[in-house]
Amino acid sequence: MARALEAANPGLAVVVVPVRTRGDDPGRAPLGPAGVKGLFVKEIEDALLAGAVDLAVHSAKDVPSELPAGLALAAAPERATPFDALISRGGAGLAGLRPGARVGTSSLRRRAQLLAFRPDLEIVPLRGNLDTRLGKVMEGELDATLLGASGLRRLKGEGYPVLTVDPALMLPAPGQGQLALEIREGDGGIASLCAPLDHPPSAVALAVERAFMEALGAGCQTPAACWARFEGGDLLADALVCELDGSRVLRASGSVPGSPGAVAPAPAGTGGPPAGGAADPGGDGLPGGGAARGLGRRLAERLLADGGGAMIARAERGL
């Protein structure tokens, strides 16, 4: 991202400041079912608020739906694939795994959807870096694991064999495969530097997914999923909430006609209120006021009305 910023702003010299977060600590204690909001972003946001850095680059799925006061999302670069990838011995897909296969994941979303499709599977909690997770499969301790396809390709290269899971079986997490650029609210200079990297279709889709999670009242460690995208000139979104054991899955879909420019206002650029500001006081800086965020909220409200809130509460209590 540093090189992309420099390429988009000739003469700019970007200094990368590494910030270690609690989520990066391999020795941390395992999380409870509900996880911890902001586990991978809090220390970075603290540095941003303190002025130690001017721009934060996050994996969007790690950014809580409610930002700290004084911060805003300035841009969403073009999204990579949002889907999950299955890594298994022998390259078997989900349907081809042996009965009772051991599948490693600590994601409640993945766990619930796996069990909804294959209730015979044994889900094994799995932490560690990418090589640790892959090693447990290759060495036979696990039959398979699920990882974000975009992160796997970024770390292992495009030539690495990736078996993408059909979103009809495994709907992705909100923000999966998406980067989010965060700045101090009102910092027009940094916003203008980020503006060339913003990809309106990706930014609008992210706004839908973040609005869904905000209205659902759920954190990133919940058995909920949402995927928004543009198809045939319309904004489409699918969402779900699952029982932790996969015994019940609630689904909702919706659409808004129009192109990215028609669905949401343009990015803020330099100065002025964040995009989505006046039209959408609950916005976080991304384009996506009005119709786009409204779509995400409607999907959440539909699932809550069908009992999704109780399902999430049970999952977060580990029931």
- Catalytic residue numbers? 62
Scan for tokens 């739906």, then name that residue: 65
Number of H helices, E strands in the chain: 10, 11
Q: How far is CA 266 from CA 65, 92, 202, 261, 286, in A?
A: 21, 44, 13, 7, 9
**What order do you get walking across the sheet with 71-75 strand by strand?**
56-59, 179-184, 71-75
Task: Say how many CA atoms lie within 13 Å of 219 toward its Cβ.
Answer: 15
**Cα–Cα distance between 299 and 217 in angstroms, integer?**
13
DSSP conformational letter for 237: E
**What order do you get walking across the sheet with 102-104 strand by strand?**
122-124, 102-104, 144-148, 84-88, 163-164
**Cα–Cα distance between 165 and 223 in angstroms, integer?**
17
Q: How far is CA 200 from CA 64, 139, 203, 244, in A?
A: 21, 43, 5, 34
**Cα–Cα distance between 170 and 93 in angstroms, integer?**
12
Q: How far is CA 91 from CA 82, 96, 306, in A?
A: 21, 9, 37
Q: DSSP string covering 257-316, please?
A: ES-HHHHSPPP--SSSSPTTTTT-TT--SSS-TTHHHHHHHHHHHHHHHTTHHHHHHHHH
**Cα–Cα distance between 95 and 10 in angstroms, integer?**
50
